[in-house]
Structures are given as C-alpha cells and as structure tokens.
Amino acid sequence: MATLPNTAPDTDSASASPSFESALSELEGIVAAMEAGQMPLQDALDAYKRGAALLRQCQATLAAAEQQIRILDADGLRDFDAAQLAAGDAGTDGKQEG
C-alpha cells in the first residue's frame, strides 16, 4: 500500500491508535488517493478497509468528546455571557450558589 499518503505501517496500527487529528489526516489522504482512481484493485480494497477503521476511530473519539461535554453541561456549566464579563461579573464572586 505504498501509493497511499499518510498511511501508518501495518505493524504500528495494531499496537497503538493514532490521535484524532492524525487519524483524520490519514483518512483524508486515503479518500484523496481513492478519488484519484489510479489504485490497483487490491490497494483500493486495502485502503477502503483502513479508511473504514479510521472512520470508526474518529467517530468513537467524537462520541466520547460529546459525552464529556454532556457531563460537563450537567455539572452546571452555563452559557457564556459577554455582557457579564464586560461588566466585571464573570460568575466567580461567590453570589451564584450558596
């Protein structure tokens, strides 16, 4: 699969998963290479398999991030109010809860 840009060697892909950013970058490279339409069939199949695995990893990472945001929202995060910040009330004066 030497025709694919940004693809990790097969030995590394099993031992450690790339960061979200590098997985996304590799996925974009695979898509671009496949869209060029110049790959032999077996390389295209291998690229598709790798791309599907990267897509699942990116989706799982995003789902985990969304879950963390939901948890943080449930802990009492509130909408940012630029007017309050400009007036000097950033919500840290102790008057909010008590």
pLDDT at 76: 73
Give the amino acid at 61. Answer: T
Residue 90 C-alpha from the chain's centroid: 31
Query: In the predicted model, is pLDDT for residue 83 greater than 50?
Result: yes
**Lowest mean pLDDT across 56-60, 83-87, 93-97:** 93-97
As a three-state string, the secondary structure of 21-86 is: HHHHHHHHHHHHHHHHCCCCHHHHHHHHHHHHHHHHHHHHHHHHHHHHHHHHHHCCCCCCCHHHHH
Per-domain residue ranges of the chain: 14-86
Task: Give CATH for domain 14-86.
Answer: 1.10.287.1040
3 state SS of 10: helix
Give the pTM: 0.60
- pLDDT tens-place string over residues 40-60: 999 999 999 999 999 999 999
Query: In the predicted model, is pLDDT for residue 33 greater than 90?
Result: yes
| Mean of the per-residue pLDDT values of the chain | 78
